[in-house]
Structure 1
Amino acid sequence: MNDNFVIQTKTLIDELKAVCASYGLGNDGNEFKIISQVFLYKFLNDKFAYEVKKLKPELTTSNNWEADIAKMKESEYQLLKFQLGESTAFLKPHQLIGYLFNRQEEPDFAKRVDDTLIDIAVSNNDLFAVKTEDGQKIQLFERLTEYVSSKRDAFAKALFNKLTLFNFENIMGEGFDFFSTIFEYLIKDYNSDAGGKYAEYYTPHAVSKIIANILVPEPTSNVTIYDPSAGSGTLLMNLAHAIGPDKCTVYSQDISQKSSNLLRLNLVLNNLVHSIENVIQGNTMTDPYHKQDNKLRHFDYIVSNPPFKLNFEDDVDTLNKKENKARFFAGIPNVPKKKKESMAIYTLFLQHIIYSLKEGVGKAAIVVPTGFITAQSGIEKKIRQKIVDSKMLAGVVSMPSNIFATTGTNVSIVFLDAANKENVVLLDASNLGTIVKEGKNQKTVLTEEEEIKIINTFTKKEAKEDLSVVVSYDEIKAKNYSFSAGQYFEVKIEYIDISAEEFTAKMNNFEAELKSLFIDSKSLEEDIIENLKGLKYE
């Protein structure tokens, strides 16, 4: 990874945030929309430039390539649209950053910028729009300068002055590691959804890496990958990277429009534009969108870090409908009377994922609260029984506490594999990692060596002392369907070879110590009795 490019890109993000702060939008709810969309516009502009210059190498030496392509005949320019391919947004000469930058002193510059963004969104809607569950399209851009109450032209100028300081063309060849780092930095201040239903936008790197490497231990191609609670798509991006962006198609759904927009940006950065049409904003539990032959679609790979507890009280009647009985085979969690937000919604996602796996070949990884793996009754127990009785469990990894800085809940990763009919790996990684401070919270961080240790132990199905066990389905049934590695660790008894004389000496020593303890106890008892006799009661 080119560290200089990372620094430059992060600097651009910081500069855009500084502009927003200067115009009264710092930590404002609309700051996220402006930063993410301006960043995306900049990236699409430079990607267009990068691809056009590959088609017309003479433009690389031009002093003003934007002016040169503006002189092209309309028919020749339209030909570029077909030559570029569908991963690149098609921009017209007057929509390029350089063109707008040179007109910032003209009247109504802010309106020109907003009109341009809307035009780009409309003309590229088919490829870049996110759909809602009822078929509506959420286009690429909004009228961004209208979020500023005054001095809109000055605000637009300030943004464009930052956009010309850095060129993404130089980093188009960088890979997943680069863009995942940039994406994480871009959204770090917006990684929550106060008051919303799905609150986690970014799954920790260690969790994502472990999941991707365990699910894809060897090359595969032409597969579908799915996340029913996608957030910003961290798990999907890691999985797609492990498979290869050109070898998989991404499907997702999430109730949050904000997270769906983040996912779209993530797909653009990671050469997965062809999957944007499969990004759906909507409620997966009540209105699952992805279907095939009028039935819910089944996927090769599913990953999910679903919300653990949320109030879905308003959806209970819908969830209990007859058509959902097969999907929610273990039942609908109760709505707690006093704390409705504690409804165990993750159990619904688990059931939905099991139902959505391709029969016989599907694989999945789901982040769950660790309490799930040992619950003795209820929906949790029924789900574990279904997984074991159907012989579709690959294993479980119990993670260290505070692997998520934003929650103190201990988590485990349940790995499903419809093809795994024999031994299962149960791994307890709770003692690994180092605790570090992250803001006001503590977070446990795994070293790269620890991540590799977990991945290799799991994929090789190795039993390691105090770390992992390899058990059969029958053994799991005998332990009341427990998925906790600790319940299968053998009790170790150490045997030491000693002579008869040594044994007698040790026994005599134990006997002497025991006599001494009895004497001390007798003396203490006599002192207590004497003290009690001396007490006078009135």
Structure 2
Amino acid sequence: MSEEHKKQLEQQLWNIANTLRGKMNADEFRDYILGFIFYKYLSEKMDIFASSILKEDKISYKSIDENSEDGKEYLEAIREEALEALGYYLKPSELFSEVTKKGNSDKGGDTFILEEIQKILNNIQLSTMGTESEEDFDNLFEDMDLNNSKLGKTPTQRNELISKVLFHLDQIDFKLEETELDVLGDAYEYLIGQFASGAGKKAGEFYTPQQVSKLLAKIVTTGKSKLKTVYDPTCGSGSLLLRVAREVKDQVGDFYGQELNRTTYNLARMNMILHGVHFRKFDIKQEDTLEHPQHMGQEFEAIVANPPFSSKWSANPILSTDERFAPYGRLAPSSKADFAFVQHMIYHLAENGTMAIVLPHGVLFRGGAEGHIRKFLIETRNYLDAVIGLPGNLFYGTSIPTAILVFKKCRETPESILFIDASNDFEKIKTQNYLQDEHIQKIYDTFKARTEIEKYSRNVSLEEIKENDYNLNIPRYVDTFESEEDIDINSIAGDLSSLEKEMSVVDKKVAGFCAELEIPKPF
């Protein structure tokens, strides 16, 4: 039943999202539809919470008269408890369903509501001022400009479109009272994925394909039934952090992340709250992770990342004394920040932790500073645990093949590094490659048991890697060469001779037919 409802909800939300499709690009209308879904979610949570408090008084939250003395007393008491429990507050008149009624003639209203909605979204943020949740709600709706001309040339047209979107969203039951289900969270993830598929290159800024997220999450949670902390230094929409939580039996203690893009940072915070992560349980920061790290001095039990591939960074010499980079004696080149992210993550990795990072294949063999850092990680620290080659064309916006590098500070098998070549295991759907569940399970089972499979995986000794000058190019260690069948030249020559005789007979027949018909021969 829940699976059926989830799929139905996903389709309903996507149909509503498509009412904005013709107005703007995927990455633009994404912010509006996800923002409105989030506003509806906050409203329903507020209504459920307040009504539970008012149950003994046998009144509903929406029935409170906000202007009466009794009503004001009720609201003040509820406000205090809501800020403590939920982290925000909405008055009855500010609830999604109440505003929707005003803006839709189908519900007995036909009011201009754009200014009211904008004010309510601001009020949600203002309600948190001076509280613990202030940072988590700060400017959360700043990307929802309801005066954007792309929503309509005139205010009336914009009001009509937004009212229509609200009306259709209001028809959907999010089933928030069924606390054991997370159908809305799943649907929200589905929408983010759909928007990513239409956003092209920009998708890489906020979304890791779900199948890759699942694999990373399974790797870093191996052998753990619960996690105290999980961290993603390039967290995008936060989906990868949330995926890690799904892979452990008990809930993750605390979520930590950092994201450079402001819009994506807002999306990550919404995603956390909408998935039921309490505001005290996540700490998402907005800044450049390499230049301005926000969690210095902290260690995390699980770390995952899909950083921008081979992006540029300052490589400012002053960073040579930064405790994240100083032990290596070299900084990653300014043209390629891949190893800078690795160094940053290693610094934050707890002694009992595991980190998994997706990187382009160049990190496996490039020389210079990257070769120096790679050698240090293997020879001096012995932190590299596994190298997993993935198929190309898995990620939106780029077709390059990638690899997952797994690091541990306390390795169970310190004498070898596991290499897995999973580059040929995928399913092609239209123009994109996908890892299916059986592909993910095969990689994970091989990683977990460190199984050696011919032409697929191998445990390589540190001595052999040293002999290869710390070059980690996967084909050096996992031979996937398939020999072709031997060709019998004499047999082929015999076949050609037979064919030539047959063709000669046919040519004579055709010549005879042409003579009878008194037409030229075709040869």
Q: TM-score, normalised on structure 2?
A: 0.78
Q: Give the stretch that moved more between structures: 422-431 or 484-493.
A: 484-493
Alpha-carbon contact 2:272-2:282 (below 8 Å) kept: no
Letter of the 2:427 counterpart: T
The unaligned stretches of length 5 or more in structure 2 are 104-108, 494-523
Summarize the Cα distance change of 1:369–1:280 in structure 2 as closer, same or farther, 3 Å threshold: same
Q: Is the 8 A contact 2:301 2:353 kept in 1?
A: yes
Change (3 A) 1:195 1:4: closer
Report the equivalent of 1:383: 373
Mapped partners of 1:260, 1:245: distance in 2:
26
What does 1:178-189 align with in structure 2 at a 5 Å threshold? Answer: 179-186=185-192, 188-189=194-195
1:111 is matched with 115
1:399 shift after superposition: 0.7
Gaps of at least 5 residues in structure 1 are: 336-342, 495-509, 517-538
Alignment partner of 1:279 out of 281, 284, 287:
284
- Do the aligned residues in 1 keep the contact of 2:455 with 2:480 (CA within 8 Å)? no
Identity within the alignment, %: 21
Contact 1:209–1:238 (8 Å) recurs in 2: yes
One of 235, 245, 260 as aligned partner of 1:255: 260
In structure 2, what residue type is equivalent to 1:384? R
Matched residues in 1 for 2:111 and 2:14: separation?
A: 27
The question of 1:66 aligning with 2:56 is answered no
Following TM superposition, by how much is the alpha carbon of 1:176 offset from its aligned partner in structure 2, in angstroms? 5.8
**Per-residue deviation at 1:397?**
1.0
Structure 2 CA distance for partners of 1:257 and 1:272, relative to 1, 3 Å? same
Structure 1 residues 424 and 323, CA gap change in structure 2 (3 angstroms) = closer
Distance in 1 of aligned mates of 2:135 and 2:231 = 16
Shift of 1:220: 4.2
- Cα distance change on mapping 1:118 and 1:244 into 2, 3 Å: farther
Which residue of the other structure, out of 439, 449, 466, is the alignment partner of 2:438?
449
Q: Distance in 2 between matches of 1:143 and 1:400?
A: 37
Paired residues for 1:365-404 under 5 Å = 365-375=356-366, 377-389=367-379, 390-404=381-395
How many residues were matched structurally? 469
Q: Pairwise mapping of residues 81-160 of structure 1 onto structure 2 (< 5 A)?
A: 81=79, 86-87=85-86, 89-104=88-103, 105=109, 108-124=112-128, 126=131, 137-140=138-141, 144-148=145-149, 149-150=153-154, 151=156, 152-160=158-166
Deviations along 1:119-140, one digit per CA (max 9) or x if unpaired, are 1121135455557xxxx94344
Distance 1:231 1:425 in 2: 29
The one-character-per-residue Cα deviations of 1:137-166 (angstroms, maximum 9, x if unpaired) are 434456642224522443443233223211
Match status 1:169 vs 2:162? no
> Letter of the aligned partner of 1:458 in structure 2?
F
- SS of 2:294's equivalent in the other structure is coil
Helix, strand or coil: the match of 1:169?
coil
Using the alignment, how far apart are the partners of 1:118 and 1:415 within structure 2?
Answer: 43
Task: State the 1:468 CA deviation.
Answer: 1.0
Over aligned residues, Cα RMSD in angstroms?
Answer: 3.6
How do 1:214-253 and structure 2 match up within 5 A?
Answer: 214-221=219-226, 223-243=228-248, 246-253=251-258
The Cα of 1:224 is off from its aligned counterpart by 1.8
Greater mean alpha carbon deviation, residues 237-246 or residues 423-432: 237-246
Look up the match of 1:364.
355
Q: Within 2, Cα distance between the matches of 1:451 and 1:305?
A: 17
User: Is residue 47–residue 88 contact of structure 1 (8 Å, CA) maintained in 2?
Assistant: no
The 1:163/1:66 distance shift into structure 2, 3 A limit, reads farther
- Provide the secondary structure at the position in 2 that maps to 1:243: coil
Give the superposition deviation at 1:118.
Answer: 0.9
Equivalent residues in 2 for 1:416-455, closer than 5 Å: 416-420=407-411, 421-437=414-430, 442-455=431-444
Contact residue 114 and residue 159 of structure 2 kept, 8 A: yes
Is the alpha carbon distance of 1:190 and 1:458 closer, same or farther for their aligned partners in structure 2, counting shifts above 3 Å? closer
- Separation of aligned partners in 2, 1:404 and 1:21: 23
In structure 2, the residue matched to 1:531 is none
* Distance in 2 separating the partners of 1:477 and 1:186: 43
Which digits, 9 at most, give the CA deviation of each residue in 1:375-402, with x for residues without a partner? 3x22332232222121222211111122
CA distance in 1, matches of 2:178, 2:79: 19
Q: How far did 1:172 drift?
A: 5.0
- Work out whether residues 128 and 273 of structure 1, in 8 Å CA contact, stay in contact via their aligned partners in 2: no
| CA offsets 1:63-93 (integer angstroms, 9 cap, x no match) | x762258687444444445655634643221
Paired amino acid for 1:411: T
Amino acid at match of 2:278: V
Structure 2 SS opposite 1:362:
strand
- Asked if the contact 2:356–2:407 (Cα under 8 Å) also holds between the matched residues in 1, the reply is yes
Asked if the contact 1:250/1:275 (under 8 Å) is kept, the reply is: no
1:407 and 2:398 aligned: yes
**2 CA distance for matches of 1:448 and 1:493?**
26
Q: Tell me by how many angstroms 1:215 deviates.
A: 1.3
